[in-house]
Amino acid sequence: MAALSLGFSPCPNDTFIFDALVNKRIDTQGLEFDVQLGDVETLNNKAFKGELDITKLSYHAFAYLADKYQLLRSGSALGKNCGPILISKEPISNDVTLSEGEGLKIAIPGKYTTANFLLSIAFPEAKNKIEMVFSEIENAVLSGKVDAGLIIHENRFTYESKGLKKLMDLGEFWETKTGLHIPLGGIAIRKSLPAGIKLKVEQLIRKSIAYAFANPDASKEYVRCHSQELEEHVIKSHIDLYVNSYSVNLGAEGERAVRAMYAIAMKNGIIAHLPEDIFIV
């Protein structure tokens, strides 16, 4: 069988998860992988073009791809206190953000990111959005290129040290509104692949995570060489926040959070109807 194209981000949580798999620290059971790294919106767009067999993508983006892909229950970024944060250089009251959202220029890490989905739920009138790579958002806010920025990944741990202010934690907003965990990103696999291959990939990702947890030093070099931030405590904090038991297996609670997100998105007219078989069997 030809190598399966596999996309994930260079962020510490993804490289930590996939290290054992792509560097063959575990038995890949005859499967080969052609790895393609990219930021989350790049991966979302590759999935829209059907370029990847398996990919990390935003749960928001998957809503438009359910005809081509299905979700795995391993490899997800889902949890509590891990959502995107809306920041600015100077304090801006929430009242201003709400009443003048269309005028505020807000940097977002991509149209199809879950971060933008949450922003759309919190501030539906905020329309003046500028898409950019997530790692460029802090500097865009600092330089005054935009009024506010929606940050994800490592920037959650660095914005305060740069003098930036938190306007709203959209993760807290979501948890207060729904009482559910935040589904940020998941692993999607091409729907047309044989069922046995899909199940095997899910199992291998789960084994890769288990290996990473059992051997935390094994992935350090791979994680560090791809990370935007090199400070050890930032990398560790990133992994600790985004890789958890739901990454190993979403389980009933995690799956319920994902389905609830889509139900809310449909109710708000953000996405159309989804099929029932969004997860592999």
pLDDT in tens, the chain (281 residues): 679 999 999 999 999 999 999 999 999 999 999 999 999 999 999 999 999 999 999 999 999 999 999 999 999 999 888 889 999 998 776 555 544 545 789 999 999 999 999 999 888 888 899 999 988 999 999 999 999 999 988 788 889 989 999 999 999 999 998 999 999 999 999 999 999 999 999 999 999 999 999 999 999 999 999 987 778 888 998 999 999 999 999 999 999 999 999 999 898 888 888 888 999 98
Query: Which pLDDT belongs to residue 98?
Result: 46
Could you give all domains of the chain from N- to C-terminal order, each with its CATH number? Answer: 4-79+182-267 (3.40.190.10), 85-178 (3.40.190.10)
pLDDT recorded at residue 1 = 66
Residue 219, token pair as written in the block: 């992935």
Length, in residues, of the chain: 281
Q: Are 25 and 218 in contact (CB under 8 A)?
A: yes
Between vectors from CA 108 to CA 96 and to CA 52, what angle results, nearest 5°? 155
Give the residue among 5, 22, 28 at the shortest CA–CA distance from 201: 28
Place of tokens 């009251």: 93
138, two tokens: 């802090």
- The DSSP bridge partners found for residue 168 are 86
Structure tokens at 185: 């990103």
Q: Known catalytic residue: 238? A: no
What Rg, from alpha-carbon coordinates, does the chain have?
Answer: 18
Distance of alpha carbon 270 from alpha carbon 7, whole angstroms: 26
Look at residue 94 in the predicted model and tell me its pLDDT: 54
Q: Which of 249, 229, 253 is nearest to 239 (CA)?
A: 229
Q: Which amino acid is at 218?
A: A
Tokens, residue 92: 């801006």
Beta pairing class for 33-37 and 4-8: parallel
User: Measured between alpha carbons, how far is 156 from 170 in angstroms, rounded to an integer?
Assistant: 12
Which among 153, 181, 238, 273 is annotated as catalytic? Answer: 153
